[in-house]
């Protein structure tokens, strides 16, 4: 490869960052146990047999135990009635050993996901999806922040330092990533545009941005010539595509091979934002535990 072909962008290593964050969380968990005799506990509920969700839940269980926390897994059949799930959540809300509750998404179609999210105690809602936590984020209060946007923000702050005054575009307006990400960027004094399927000239919006957060779930939709030279690209997409030879491959929402030649820094897929999601879930569980026990412990990786 000649110099003119060599990638310009710095690769943002989510695997390394998340491993360091998990180590820091493990240290805090051991301090909590030794000094305060409290062990944080995370309950994860999986309904059905979606293969990707099964992998994520298995990884959550493994990572939770590695930090020294308690992990409580609840695996329910796909035809579980909504009322059973709500009763399980009521029990977890009242369980003093459980400090964090997460219901893996997506849920089967017969279950109303919003109703389930609203049944979780806001101070145990380690996904940060309950309307109380949504409101706290929007109004600048102290709630629990959704894990993928929180992890993305940690990577951005680590890469750029202050984000103040930078132009950011968030592509996607989901409750899980797009909207909370926009709020976090506003908090960091960015000028934020939220683009979506009805945006008139998406390429022009992206070209104006110093920070691009792609969270649309469309494989390689953002092209390299849309990226402003030197911009920082956070690719939240995780899409499994089938290649002409029948093999499958994970790609993001950004055409990586093109964007890496233009951007200043970029997250790869896999190994970028994805691993931060579980590390931030553990961080939220530790935070929830400390708050529920009125313990004033230092945050793991205070980013803001």
Ligand X SMILES: Nc1nc2c(c(=O)[nH]1)N[C@@H](CN(C=O)c1ccc(C(=O)N[C@@H](CCC(=O)O)C(=O)O)cc1)CN2
Among 69, 102, 171, 213, the residue binding ligand X under the rule CB under 6 A is 102
In the set 147, 181, 236, 266, which binds ligand X (CB under 6 A)? 147
Least Å distance between CB 223 and ligand X? Answer: 21
Q: Does 270 bind ligand X (CB under 6 A)?
A: yes
172 binds ligand X (CB under 6 A): no
Q: Is 71 annotated as a binding residue?
A: no
Q: In 196-238, where do the E strands start and end?
A: 211-214, 232-235
The token duo for 283 is 């961080």
Q: How many residues belong to the site for ligand X (CB under 6 A)?
A: 17
Q: Which two tokens stand for residue 180?
A: 């909370």
> Among candidates 259, 254, 232, 256, which has minimal Cα distance to 160?
232
Of 165-173, 263-271, 284-292, 293-301, the window that binds ligand X (rule: CB under 6 A) is 263-271
The sign of the CA dihedral 214, 163, 304, 18 is positive
Place of tokens 């109303």: 112
Partner residues linked to 45 by β-bridges: 74, 103
What is the rounded distance in angstroms from the CA atom of residue 172 to the CA atom of residue 221? 12
Q: Is the dihedral of CA 13, 16, 20, 25 positive or negative?
A: positive
Q: Which is nearer to ligand X, 40 or 237 (CB)?
A: 237
* Helical residues (DSSP H) of 188-251, grouped into ranges: 202-207
Cα distance between residue 195 and residue 218, in whole Å: 14
Choices 64-72, 163-171, 193-201, 272-280 (CB under 6 A): range interacting with ligand X: 272-280
According to CB under 6 A, which one of 80, 134, 274, 283 is a site residue for ligand X? 274
Residue 228: CB minimum distance to ligand X, A: 24
Q: With CB under 6 A as the contact rule, which of the stretches 3-11, 69-77, 199-207, 264-272 interacts with ligand X?
A: 264-272
Q: How far is the CB of 204 from ligand X (least distance, A)?
A: 29
From the list 127, 210, 235, 253, the catalytic residue is 127
Asked if 186 touches ligand X (CB under 6 A), the answer is: no
Residue corresponding to tokens 């102290």: 142
> Whose structure tokens read 């926390």?
69
As to burial, measured by CB atoms within 10 angstroms (0-12 exposed, 13-18 middle, 19+ buried), residue 66 is: middle
Stretch that binds ligand X, among 30-38, 166-174, 222-230, 275-283 (CB under 6 A): 275-283
Residues in binding site: 172-174, 238
Residues in binding site for NADP(+): 172-174, 238
Instruction: State the residues that interact with ligand X by CB under 6 A.
Output: 56, 102-105, 127, 147-148, 238, 250, 269-271, 274-275, 277-278
Hey, which residues are catalytic here? 60, 104, 127
């Amino acid at each position: 490869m000649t110099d003119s072909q060599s990638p310009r962008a710095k690769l943002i290593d989510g695997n390394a960052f998340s491993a360091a964050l998990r180590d820091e969380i493990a240290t805090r968990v051991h301090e909590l146990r030794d000094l305060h005799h409290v062990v944080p506990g995370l309950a994860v509920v999986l309904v059905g047999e979606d293969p990707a969700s099964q992998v994520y839940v298995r990884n959550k269980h493994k990572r939770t135990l590695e930090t020294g926390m308690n992990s409580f897994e609840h695996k329910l059949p796909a035809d579980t009635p909504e009322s059973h799930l709500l009763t399980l959540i009521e029990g977890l809300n009242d369980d003093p050993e459980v400090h964090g509750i997460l219901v893996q998404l997506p849920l089967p179609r017969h279950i109303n996901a919003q109703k389930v999210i609203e049944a979780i105690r806001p101070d145990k809602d380690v996904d940060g999806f309950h309307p109380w936590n949504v409101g706290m984020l929007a109004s600048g209060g102290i709630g629990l922040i959704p894990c993928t946007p929180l992890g993305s923000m940690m990577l951005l702050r680590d890469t750029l330092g202050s984000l103040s005054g930078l132009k950011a575009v968030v592509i996607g307006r989901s409750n899980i990533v797009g909207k909370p990400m926009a709020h976090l960027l506003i908090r960091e004094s960015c000028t934020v545009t939220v683009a979506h399927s009805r945006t008139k000239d998406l390429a022009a919006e992206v070209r104006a941005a110093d920070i691009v957060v792609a969270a649309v779930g469309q494989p390689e939709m953002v092209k390299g010539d849309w990226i402003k030279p030197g911009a920082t690209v956070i690719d939240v997409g995780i899409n499994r595509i089938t290649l002409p030879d029948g093999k499958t491959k994970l790609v993001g929402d950004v055409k990586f091979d093109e964007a890496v030649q233009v951007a200043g820094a970029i997250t790869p897929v896999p190994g970028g934002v994805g691993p931060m999601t579980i590390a931030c879930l553990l961080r939220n569980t530790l935070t929830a535990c400390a708050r529920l026990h009125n313990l004033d412990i230092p945050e793991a990786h205070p980013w803001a």
